[in-house]
């Protein structure tokens, strides 16, 4: 004979299994699944104590993990469960940065102190792996290794500076969403859910228009990569650059040399092609959404519902990184997006990752200059 408690435990475990197996589409439009997510969204020690005290809920368990289950059971019996959780989470919407003591105005000003955007090492790898692969396992002579200290230090600083810039610009942009009255923040910082809009659990991804996707489209349009195309045009007028530079550094160097001699006309076809690709993506976002899901890093893979905020400078694609701090442009666009948000906003994206099929609800908010 099973008990009501075991039924609740099984229900809690069911959603826990769905969550851990990345079957996050099961939570969409499901009352119990949504309740499970919101319970998890407030289950941090301090927040949990405050919630149960405000709503006269008594919990017998002492461990947070057990309190999750107990609270889920208690709320499963209440018709007003969603209402009281939503009200509580809305009141704490901005606690996530207030508790850190972040001075938003100073932070916004400090972000303009970043004058260049160059990754230390290889942005596709972790910095420690880059150092191991390029110094630790390659250089056997200690004197030679010592001679590379400045180079290693510059790489480390560039990595830290870019990571800092990305973290805090994303932090500010996320706050634009969380400060909107339509948005309920997952203040407990549950993995895969930043906030809820109209009871849709959503993860926010702030990214630049992906260069790899852009290059795929440029090859289709021009028959070759943007670097090969640019090299070919520049060679005709005697402009070259160091082949040892990274792809992006070569493109930057060639474009700067063209600017120096006022030959921007040479770059015009390439820039026009980029603009057309961005416009096409804005008109038909499904292709890019699917691409973004399928081209995630394996370590950070997720199949959650997502809003992608995609940034691009159509006048100079290499300067798109500055768009992440263009808050005067971003904030009103975010508010316009949220005001217009409806059940039709999110689209079902079916994608494949490591030979496994997934589906999620997603949308793209383009911020283009």
pLDDT by residue, tens only, the chain of 369 residues: 445 455 556 889 999 999 998 888 999 999 999 999 999 888 777 888 889 999 999 999 888 888 989 999 999 999 999 999 998 888 776 565 566 678 889 999 999 999 988 877 665 667 888 899 889 999 999 999 999 999 999 989 999 999 999 999 999 999 999 889 899 988 766 788 999 999 999 999 999 999 999 999 999 999 999 999 999 999 999 999 888 887 878 888 898 899 899 898 998 899 999 999 999 999 999 999 999 999 998 878 899 999 999 999 988 888 899 999 999 999 999 999 999 999 899 999 999 999 999 999 999 999 998
Work out the mean pLDDT of the chain and round it to a whole number: 89
Q: Cα 360 to chain center, whole Å? A: 16
74, 57 Cβ separation under 8 angstroms: yes
Cα separation, 347 vs 227, in Å, equals 34
Q: Rounded distance, CA 26 to CA 23, Å?
A: 6
Q: How far is CA 132 from CA 126, 135, 139, 158, 366, in A?
A: 10, 6, 10, 17, 38
**pTM for this one?**
0.87
pLDDT at 160: 93
pLDDT (0 to 100) of residue 225:
94
> Do 233 and 227 touch, CB atoms closer than 8 A?
no
Alpha carbon distance 316, 314 (integer Å): 6
Task: Record the tokens describing residue 230, joined without a space.
Answer: 């640019």
201 beta partners? 196
User: 10 near 178, Cβ under 8 Å?
Assistant: no
Domain ranges of the chain: 4-92, 213-273
Going by their DSSP bridges, the two strands 356-368 and 306-312 should be labelled as: parallel
Q: For residue 250, which phi and psi values (nearest 5 degrees)?
A: -65, -45
Phi/psi of residue 361, nearest 5 degrees: -95, 135
What is the rounded distance in angstroms from the CA atom of residue 285 to the CA atom of residue 38? 29
The Cα–Cα gap between 214 and 219 comes to 9
* CA pair distance 310, 282, nearest whole angstrom: 10
Q: Which of 174, 198, 195 is nearest to 344 (CA)?
A: 198
Burial class (CB in 10 A: 0-12, 13-18, 19+), 318: middle
Q: Report pLDDT for 124.
A: 60
Left (φ > 0), alpha (ψ -120 to 50) or beta: where does 287 sit? alpha
Which pLDDT score is estimated for 1? Answer: 44
Residue 326: count of CB within 10 angstroms of its CB: 15
The per-residue pLDDT for 314 is 85
pLDDT the model gives residue 78? 92
């Amino acid at each position: 004979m099973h008990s009501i408690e075991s039924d609740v435990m099984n229900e809690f475990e069911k959603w826990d299994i769905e969550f851990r197996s990345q079957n996050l589409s099961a939570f969409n439009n499901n009352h119990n699944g949504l309740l499970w997510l919101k319970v998890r969204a407030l289950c941090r020690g301090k927040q949990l104590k405050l919630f149960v005290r405000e709503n006269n809920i008594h919990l017998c368990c002492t461990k947070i993990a057990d309190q999750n289950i107990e609270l889920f059971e208690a709320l499963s019996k209440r018709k007003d469960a969603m209402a009281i959780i939503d009200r509580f989470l809305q009141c704490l919407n901005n606690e996530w940065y207030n508790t850190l003591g972040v001075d938003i105005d100073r932070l916004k000003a400090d972000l303009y102190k970043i004058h260049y955007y160059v990754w230390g090492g290889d942005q596709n790898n972790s910095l420690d792996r880059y150092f191991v692969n390029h110094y630790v396992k390659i250089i056997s002579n200690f004197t030679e290794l010592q001679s590379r200290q400045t180079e290693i230090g510059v790489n480390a600083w560039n990595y830290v500076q870019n990571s800092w810039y990305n973290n805090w610009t994303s932090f500010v942009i996320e706050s634009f969403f969380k400060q909107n009255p339509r948005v309920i923040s997952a203040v407990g910082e549950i993995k895969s859910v930043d906030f809820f809009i109209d009871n849709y659990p959503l993860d926010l991804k702030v990214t630049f228009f992906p260069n790899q996707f852009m290059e795929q489209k440029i090859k289709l349009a021009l028959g070759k990569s943007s670097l090969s195309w640019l090299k070919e045009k520049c060679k005709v007028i005697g402009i070259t650059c160091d082949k040892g530079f990274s792809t992006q550094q070569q493109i930057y160097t060639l474009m700067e040399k063209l600017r120096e001699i006022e030959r921007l006309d040479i770059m015009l076809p390439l820039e026009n092609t980029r603009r057309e690709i961005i416009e096409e993506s804005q008109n038909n976002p499904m292709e890019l959404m699917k691409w973004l899901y399928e081209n995630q890093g394996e370590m950070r893979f997720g199949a959650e519902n997502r809003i992608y905020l995609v940034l691009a400078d159509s006048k100079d694609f290499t300067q798109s990184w500055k768009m992440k701090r263009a808050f005067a442009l971003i904030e009103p666009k975010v508010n316009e997006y949220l005001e217009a948000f409806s059940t039709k906003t999110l689209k079902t994206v079916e994608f494949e990752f490591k030979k496994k099929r997934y589906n999620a609800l997603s949308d793209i908010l383009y911020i283009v200059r």
